[in-house]
Each structure stands twice: as structure tokens, then as C-alpha cells.
């Protein structure tokens, strides 16, 4: 769920929130609200995929449960 949240939060919402800043910095007035969304979504898809594989590997090696035990005491 964290990977999906990352894609939605950073990829879609983050690109829309950063649009006014990017528009100001680059000085382009003819861009749409979703102009930067494809690049944001692509970057978060790659990052979320790596994180997902990392978490699955940790789960398979039982490292994830050991970390949870250490955190809970």
C-alpha cells in the first residue's frame, strides 16, 4: 500500500502541487496542470518498484519480521 500511496501522492498530487513553482521557475505560461505528471509518475514507478522488490526480499529472508520485533521490543 505504501508503494501505491507513493505513486498517487508523489506522482500525481506532487506534480500538480509543483506545477505553479515549475511554471514560475521555467517561465513558460502555456503549460497545462498535468504537463509534469508523466515524468513524476515514471520516476515514482521506478522508485516504488525498487522499494517493493526490496521489501519482498526482506520478507522472504525473514528480515522484515526481525525488524518489526526489534521495533516493538
What confidence tens digit (pLDDT) does each residue in 19-44 have?
999 888 988 888 888 998 999 999 99
Give pTM, 2 decimals. Answer: 0.74
Is a pLDDT exceeding 80 seen at residue 64?
A: yes
At 2-25, the pLDDT tens digits run: 889 999 999 999 999 999 998 889
Give pLDDT, residue 26: 85
Q: How many separate domains does the chain show? A: 1
Give pLDDT, residue 51: 93
| Domain containing residue 57 | 2-72
DSSP alpha helix (H) spans, 1-73: 2-6, 14-26, 37-60, 63-72
Write down the mean pLDDT value for the chain.
91
Burial class (CB in 10 A: 0-12, 13-18, 19+), 55: middle
Amino acid at each position: 500500500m505504501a508503494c501505491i500511496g507513493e505513486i498517487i501522492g508523489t506522482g500525481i498530487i506532487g506534480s500538480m502541487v509543483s506545477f505553479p513553482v515549475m511554471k514560475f521557475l521555467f517561465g513558460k505560461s502555456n503549460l497545462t496542470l498535468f504537463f509534469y505528471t508523466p515524468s513524476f509518475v515514471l520516476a515514482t514507478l521506478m522508485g516504488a518498484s525498487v522499494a517493493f522488490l526490496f521489501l519482498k526480499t526482506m520478507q522472504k529472508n525473514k528480515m522484515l519480521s526481525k525488524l518489526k520485533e526489534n521495533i516493538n521490543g
